[in-house]
Amino acid sequence: MNTTDDTALIHSGDRSLTRAALNQRAARAASGYARLGVQAGDAIAILMRNEIAFLEASLAASMLGAYAVPLNWHFTAAELAYVIDDCDAKILVVHADLIAALQGADLPARVQQLVVRTPPEIRKAFGVTEESARPPQGAIDWDEWLDQQPPWDQPAPAGLESIIYTSGTTGKPKGVRRQPPTPEQQARTQEMRRLVYGLVPGVRLIIPAPLYHGSPNVVAMRAMRMADALVLMPRFDAEELLALIERHRATSIVMVPTMFVRLLRLPQEVKDRYDLSSLRTVYHAAAPCPPDVKRAMIEWWGPIISEWYGTTETSAVTFCNSAQWLAHPGTVGQPLPGARLEIIGEDGGPVPAGQTGEVYMALDFYPDFTYHKRDDERRRIERDGLVTGGDIGYLDADGFLHLCDRKRDMIISGGVNIYPNEIEAALLSHPEVIDCAVIGIPDAEFGESVLALVVPTRGQGDAGLLDRLSSHLGESLARYKLPRRIEWRDRLPRDDAGKLLKRRLREPFWQDAQRAI
C-alpha cells in the first residue's frame, strides 16, 4: 500500500512526519529563504546530522532552484568556514550543538544562521546535553521561524542536486556542482537509480549513512517522492539496524562495507533475535567490500545484496547483483547502460583485460559537473570526456571491473606495487579482527614497507594474536605483501561512509621524510 499524504513517511528515532507535513514545512522554509535574499542558483549550507529537519532544509532549497550544500560535521572550524565561504552560502542551517564546531571560524558576514534544536535521537546517539541542544539566546530558532513564513507557492525550477564537497584528502575540499538536467537526462537518471539504488514506488528504505555524503543524499532526496517509509539512522549501530528492519518492515537499505563487518561480528543470538524477512534489496558502495565479508552477508541475508561503483562526480557507472558477484568474486560490477569505462596504463594508453591501470569513466546521460570555482581541477582529471577518481583496477575477461586500490594509497616497496586493499581484506577475514588499515611507511632499504594497524575484536592484541594473524596472512598472500609490522589500535579514523582517512594515519610516520605522503 502506498503512503498517502496523511501517513507517516519519514522516521527518525521516535519522531515521524507525513509527506503532507514535510512538503508544507519545506514550502514555508523556501518562502523564508526567499525573504532572506536567496535566489535560484544560490547555496544553502546545512551542518546537521541525519534527521527530519535536514530533509526539510534541503527540499526547501530545491523548491527555489537553489543548491543545498551538506557539510561534513567532522570538519574542523577552518574547513567548515572554507566550504561555507567557497560555496557562497547565504544561509547556514545548523544543529544547535554543532554551533560549537564553528568556534573560531571566520564566517562571511552575509551568512544568516538558522538554528535547529538538536532532537532527542541525536542527543542520545551522540551524548549531547539538553542545554547544548537548545538554540542559544538571540539565535533564530528553525521551528519558530518556520511558523512565521507563508508557504512558497511558485513552481519549482528544474531539480538541482546538492553540492557535495569532497573530503579534501588531497588539498582543499572541492564542491561538485552539477548542471540542471534536461527532461531526457532526468528520465534516464531515474531509470538508472531504480536499478542501482532500488528507488521504486512503495520502497521502505533505511539510510544508516550520513546525508552529507553523495549517495545517501541523492537516495534520500529521491525517496521522499516515492517511498512508503524513509527511516533515518542518526548514527549506525549494528543491532539497532536489525531492530529498525523489523520495526519498519524495511524492504531496502543503502549501506557501506564497514557496516557489514560490524553486523557479522554480532553474537549469533543477537542475529537470530530479529525478523529480517521483509528485506528485498540491499545496496552498497563507497569502498571495496572484502570478498569473505560479502560472501558471509549473502549467506546470511540471501542473494539480495547488490553493489555499484562510481564517484560523486560521475554517479554510479557499474553495477552487479549477488549472482553476478558470486560468479566474479571481488567485482564491483560491469558498466551500466550509457556508461563508458577505460583502464589507462602508466604510458597513457588503454590496457587489455586483466592488466591494472587507473580507472576512467563517464555516464553519458548524467548532467555534467564542474568543481565550484575550480574548473582547472575538473579539466585535470579528464581524459577524452572521461574522468578519474584515482582508483586503480582492471577489467576481467567478461568485462567486470575489479578495484585494486586508490592510486595514492598504493605502496611501492623495492620497486614492486603492493595494494593495501588486498591485505586489509585478508585481515578482515580473520574472526579476531573488527577493523584494520594497511599503509606504507618509510624504509631505508626498500623505500616503503608495509604496516598493518589492527583493531582486535576483543580487547588488546597480544603476541598470540600476532602469531595467529601472521600465519593467517601467510596462507593467502605472497611473502613480499606480508606486513613487516602489525600494531594494535583501539579504533581507526573513518568517515561516516566507512572510508579510511589514511592520510591521517600516514602523517606521523612521514612527517620527517623527504617526500610527500
Q: Where is 18: in which H helix or E strand? A: strand 15-18
| Structural domain for 349, as ranges | 204-406
- What pLDDT, in 10s, does the model give residues 174-189? 899 888 888 899 899 8
- What pLDDT, in 10s, does the model give residues 459-506? 788 889 999 999 999 988 888 899 999 999 999 988 766 778 888 898
Report, as an integer, the average pLDDT of 279-293. Answer: 87
Examine the fold and report which residue of 406, 440, 459 is the final residue of a domain before the chain moves on. 406
pTM score of the predicted model: 0.84
Q: How many domains does the chain have?
A: 3
CB–CB of 127/149 below 8 Å?
Answer: no
Q: Is 498 left (phi over 0), alpha (psi -120 to 50) or beta?
A: left
Same-domain status, 126 and 266: no
Q: Report pLDDT for 197.
A: 86
Which of 253-257, 364-368, 500-504 is least confident? 500-504
Same-domain status, 402 and 427: no
Same-domain status, 414 and 402: no
Report, as an integer, the average pLDDT of 73-79. Answer: 85
- What pLDDT, in 10s, does the model give residues 149-169? 999 998 877 667 889 987 644
Q: Which of 111, 102, 106 is nearest to 48 (CA)?
A: 102
Same-domain status, 45 and 155: yes
More confident residue, 105 or 29: 29
Same-domain status, 321 and 436: no
Examine the fold and report which residue of 350, 378, 406 is the final residue of a domain before the chain moves on. 406
- What pLDDT, in 10s, does the model give residues 203-212? 999 999 999 9
Pairing status of strand 15-18 against strand 8-12: antiparallel
CA atoms in the 13 A half-sphere facing the CB of 146: 20
Cell of 364: 553519458
Give alpha helix (H) positions in 208-306.
214-226, 238-248, 257-264, 268-271, 291-301
Examine the fold and report which residue of 406, 421, 451 is the final residue of a domain before the chain moves on. 406
Same-domain status, 350 and 441: no
388 located within any domain? yes
Same-domain status, 155 and 219: no
Report, as an integer, the average pLDDT of 335-352. Answer: 93
Q: Report pLDDT for 513.
A: 60
**CA-CA distance, 206 to 244, in Å (whole number)?**
8
Same-domain status, 360 and 228: yes
Q: Which of 10, 89, 94 is nearest to 55 (CA)?
A: 10
Same-domain status, 417 and 383: no
192 located within any domain? no
Q: Report pLDDT for 105.
A: 81
